Amino acid sequence: MPELPEVETTRRGIEPLVAGARVERVVVRERRLRWPIPWQVERKLTGARMLGVRRRAKYLLLESERGTAIAHLGMSGSFSVVAVGTEPDIHDHYDMVFDGGKALRFTDPRKFGSLLWGGREPLRHKLLADLGPEPFSAEFSGAWLKACSLGRRVAVKSFLMMPAVVAGVGNIYASEALYRAGIHPRRSAGRIALRRYDRLASAIRGVLSEAIEVGGTTLRDFADARGRPGYFSQRLDVYDRAGRNCRRCGSEIRRCVIGQRASYYCLRCQT
């Protein structure tokens, strides 16, 4: 599933097309995605001037003068920029057609993506209202993580993936950040000292920043708006490297399952 860096890479790719363009029409070929696409999207966006694209966690906010559409890539979704009139494939579920002869096309083989209407106050939508701080915001820090962890016995790996704790950190980057911070993914979140959470907050920002710089991580089918894969997979230290040597100490990378998700770690470097 695309995580924060992949979504941010997508946002940066489609922003030049979207910002300032006028929507001529919205063509919905398949309404039955994770949730049905509401008719409001076509009705509100048709004829509207687009203001830009923001990101909140793993959601894209397509802002117009009439309100905001909220898009999610799901497990296999992607946006591409195509010329108006380009014949759609079977998994091309909707197009936003703009006045400059280009269209924003959403493709999703597994249909777990979504397009919803957020109105004038999209951050109050039920999908966004209870999200925690963005990793790059001033509100996010080791002190914030420590405060959220008090009394929690859950594994720190699962703790990091709670949307109310920090927005947008998923399976891949949680594993990578814990490795950089030297914290075992099974360690109880409530038993980690503040100084270690300070290191972890810094590691989260660092790994996300580096992934954004190289366009995210391609493990299966992520590509940006121009069809280019992400290259952070070449820099992964532990994720999907079970049985290989740790780049730092040479020990074998281990795999375990935490919260029904595959987790990777170095037994020597992470305690």
Q: Point out the residues that are catalytic.
A: 2-3, 58, 261
81 closest CA partner among 63, 98, 60: 98
Phi and psi torsions of 146, nearest 5°: -60, -45
Phi and psi torsions of 45, nearest 5°: -80, -30
* Exposure letters 243-269 (e unless 16+ CB within 10 A, then b): eeebeeeeeebbeeebeeeebbbbeeb
The angle formed by the CA atoms of residues 202, 125 and 19, to the nearest 5 degrees, is 75
Where helices occur in 1-82 by DSSP H, the ranges are: 4-18, 39-45
